[in-house]
Structure 1
């Protein structure tokens, strides 16, 4: 046989096999994360069940200790917008208050932010943002729970960024949960306008 006629034999390459353990070690955590994200997204969102129902009554202290009830807020004559937020640790939540306060006042909507953090911490952050709107304190989370605001978007112990509009007749006219922690005024007012 001539040299040119000899075919070079290729050595068989060893097959690379990933062990089942490696695949499971990688796949199980990824599947778990995907599952948690899907659960959070699918189990959250607007709670339409409370719309058209009677608004739960409450009386809560502000950061300075003044007691304010839903009836006090409704006595101002217009609709009442309750804003349930994460509060301390969420700068966007505090920035939201002055962002929409003037637009709400122009529409004669009484605005009542509600937070679950200790009053002194809320007052400190409110001062940092120059907020003059009274913020109600729901340490027990009873009011937030009564309005269906706990557990939204995976926050088991506090509200996310949620709103409930209580009409002059005392019924809930609109509920909206935002996945983001700050909503520009024009976008928010457009969403709120869809409640009429």
Structure 2
């Protein structure tokens, strides 16, 4: 499966958010946006990652950086996830996995020693011009946001 690299045009998407309203990548043109892909809402690793983004949203926003999370979960599950953990950034539903595939965030992976098809936890920083500035594949949920903040050149907020 092809993977995106720095300088590639970020594949555009329009997906429903937790309220069923369409959100498009082009809605963020003119500012950086972190687009992260996660396997399933309400699971331990995905909850840790989402809460880390939530807890650092003010620092990101102060630098005009938006955050968008995408999973293959249905809209209803995303709404429960958002409400349960007070997530204030868009969570988008990609049930047909077209966007996941376009970003190289869906494919073969190893899970408990078995090769399976599934979501590859991945994060992309898309520049204001719509091009990939950073691409991270196979990230670990715990500590990922802190490493991402370091990569972006600022200290994680307490």
TM-score class normalised by the smaller sequence = 0.7 to 0.9
Is residue 119 from structure 1 mapped to residue 75 from structure 2 by the alignment?
yes
Given that 2:108 and 2:117 are in contact with CA atoms closer than 8 Å, whether structure 1 keeps it comes out as no
Shift, 1:153, TM fit: 3.9
> Given the alignment, which residue of 133, 136, 146 partners 1:176?
136
Gaps of 5+ in 2: none
Moved segments of 4+, more than 4 Å: none
Deviations 1:11-42 (A, max 9, x none): xxxxxxxxxxxxxxxxxxxxxxxxxxxxxxxx
Is residue 151 from structure 1 mapped to residue 111 from structure 2 by the alignment?
no
The residue aligned with 2:91 is 135
Name the SS of the counterpart of 1:182 in structure 2.
Answer: coil
Given that 1:50 and 1:147 are in contact with CA atoms closer than 8 Å, whether structure 2 keeps it comes out as no
Given that 1:93 and 1:161 are in contact with CA atoms closer than 8 Å, whether structure 2 keeps it comes out as no
Distance 1:173 1:152, change over 3 A: farther
Shift, 1:88, TM fit: 2.5
Distance 1:185 1:147, change over 3 A: closer
Structure 2 distance, partners of 1:179, 1:134, is: 20
The residue aligned with 1:40 is none
Say which one has the larger Rg.
1
Which structure shows the higher strand fraction?
2
Name the SS of the counterpart of 1:148 in structure 2.
Answer: coil
Name the SS of the counterpart of 1:168 in structure 2.
Answer: coil
Is residue 83 from structure 1 mapped to residue 26 from structure 2 by the alignment?
no
Shift, 1:136, TM fit: 0.8
Structure 2 distance, partners of 1:127, 1:95, is: 15
Shift, 1:69, TM fit: 0.8
Name the SS of the counterpart of 2:133 in structure 1.
Answer: strand
Aligned length: 146
Name the SS of the counterpart of 2:48 in structure 1.
Answer: helix
Structure 2 distance, partners of 1:126, 1:84, is: 15
